[in-house]
Amino acid sequence: MQLIQTIIAFLVALGSLVTIHEFGHYLAARLCGVKVLRFSVGMGRVVFSRRFGKDQTEWAISMLPLGGYVKMLDVREQGADQISAEDLPREFCRQSVWKRIIIVAAGPVANFLLAIALYAGLFLHGIPEPIAKIRVPSVNSTAYHAGLRHGDLILSINGKPIHSWGDAQWELMQRALAKDKVAELVVERSKDLSNTDALNGQLDEHVDRVVDLPLEELTAKDLESDFLSKLGFSLARPPAVLGMIIDGGRAQAAGLQEGDVILAIDHVPVLDGLAFTELVNASPDKPLQLHVFRRQQEFDVIATPESELANGKKVGRLKVQMMLVPEMTVVQSGLSDALLKAGQKTWDTSMMSLSMLGKMVVGEVSIKNVTGPLTIADYAGKTSRSGLISYLSFMALISISLGVMNLLPIPVLDGGHLLYYSLEVLTGKPVSARFGEIAQRAGLALLMTIMAVAFFNDIVRLMS
């Protein structure tokens, strides 16, 4: 069932985005007075079509669902002798260079506008995201030496307000890509209270602090993965509060109860539920002294995790559920703010995509980051299973990627045609047919190479 859902989610996403892209070309062509012969969703042989309108434009569904196209009246395809004198003024090549630029650019622009519309709708509705509270497990980390502490809540980065963990990740990546040496973080920190005082419900007092976080040690390769872990921090997790105790497990045998809070293991304070889980997993058949808080009392118990085999390795299990879901917030905006934020996010994502592509060209970022349809399909399935908000966010991101990709100055893509027309604007004459033919072949070869690399990376990623 998951495979079927993945295929459907992929086809719906790609089909919608390609249709919007081609509709941008179609609408611009109609507005510029060019006759449109066919609008096809899909490539290859037409399996269904109907004709509508004064021009009897053919609206078609073609066999291959990957792609689509708009076929306009074009002397290069139909031949001048096949076009009536009445239709010649509406032929594509007879339009001014500025009209041709508008028609070609309208496809990518449609993708960017779709992304803005999707993001704006999501911001209006409200997006649940983890709050920007950080986890600093090591006193030897860059984050700790800079002054960050476990539980700090990031309020702003370089003066930009931070509303969620996603905002914090994004802004720090932007600063790292811009090669900033330091990022200025304003964080909210609770005044030091003991674990017992905090759990007894004493009023937290907060103070704002400014922390200069060094980014110099981050490389372009670090940005390809979890770069925050190299700086020594990650997303904060809830305290080590035990959930349901499973019958017959070692937790039940030790007398642990649901709601117990684990303050320390073997006299070492427990940072949070994740630290507790990791330590238990690393201690099969090893007795652990747990310091427990229960109903205003603290006491010690001995629990020995049961040894189980997982992925060929022995791990410890106490058979107790742990709450590891981070504290969440809902990022929501009014209409004007939603549109502004959506436009900014679309712009920032586009610029970051171009920056990463540029770094791939000069070798600063690995070409392993080039992904193809298999990876896109995988993420389509995963986000569709996560919910509508995740799926629409995924569609917005892919729509931006499609717009950016099509604007690259590669012949056979929209960006290649825009390059031709820009040269025509500068020189006052169109590029020669011979030059165009050679460039098309070179562009097609380059595009096929990129697709081969993408497919190879997809297969390696899925197999690993």
> What are the catalytic residues?
22
Kindly state the tokens that stand for 409.
């100055």
| Strand (E) or helix (H) holding 11 | helix 2-31
H and E: helices and strands count for the chain:
14, 18
- Token look-up 């249709």 returns 19
DSSP-based helix, strand, coil % in the chain, nearest 5: 50, 25, 30
Could you tell me which of 225, 218, 173, 180 has the C-alpha nearest to residue 355? Answer: 173
Task: Report CA 232 to chain centroid distance, whole Å.
Answer: 22
The answer for residues whose C-beta is within 8 angstroms of residue 110's C-beta and 6 or more apart is 20, 21, 23, 24, 25, 27, 403
* Pairwise CA distance, residues 39 & 306, whole Å: 63
CB 90 within 8 A of CB 33: yes
The answer for residues whose C-beta is within 8 angstroms of residue 8's C-beta and 6 or more apart is 384
Contacts 24+ apart (CB under 8 A), 206-210: 208/155, 209/147, 209/152, 210/184, 210/185, 210/186
At residue 50's C-alpha, the angle toward residues 46 and 55, to 5°, is 110
Q: What is the DSSP letter of 241?
A: B
- Identity of the residue numbered 43: M
CB 51 within 8 A of CB 107: no
CA gyration radius, the chain: 28
